[in-house]
Amino acid sequence: MNIELIEAINKDMAMQLPDNIALNELQNKLKEYIDHLVQHNFEKLVSLLYRIDVSESKLKQLLQNNGGKDAAEIIAQLIVERQLQKIKTRKEFKQKGTSSEEEKW
């Protein structure tokens, strides 16, 4: 399992997941947490989704197109996807780097 993903989710969602958790276990834990937030603190869920930068339009579309599927499961998958995208982007940006001190800010 990608430790960077676990660290990002732990940080952004204020969770404590073990470093060696499998992807399906991770999504199940996220699903449970999201279910809890839907029932007890929906505002916090909305805030977390905003902070993680989950696409609102993509979320709405997936929820509409998958009416029979558990909403928390869909949200958990989107969170994992978004975190993986951010990790990939950071790695790509870091690898490109700049060639001189003048180009750095």
Task: With respect to residue 91, please indicate whether it lies within any of the assigned structural domains.
Answer: no
Cβ proximity of 82 and 52 under 8 Å: yes
Domain count of the chain?
1
Residue 103 resides in a domain: no
Whether residue 76 lies inside any domain: the answer is: yes
Asked whether the predicted pLDDT for residue 13 surpasses 90, the reply is no
- Ramachandran sector of residue 11 (left: φ over 0; alpha: ψ -120 to 50; beta: rest): alpha
In a domain, 95, yes or no: no
Predicted model pTM: 0.82
| Phi-psi label, residue 16: left if phi above 0, alpha if psi -120 to 50, beta otherwise | beta
Measured CA to CA, the distance from residue 44 to residue 49 in angstroms comes to: 9
Q: Is the pLDDT of residue 98 over 70?
A: no
Residue 14's pLDDT band (cuts 50, 70, 90): confident
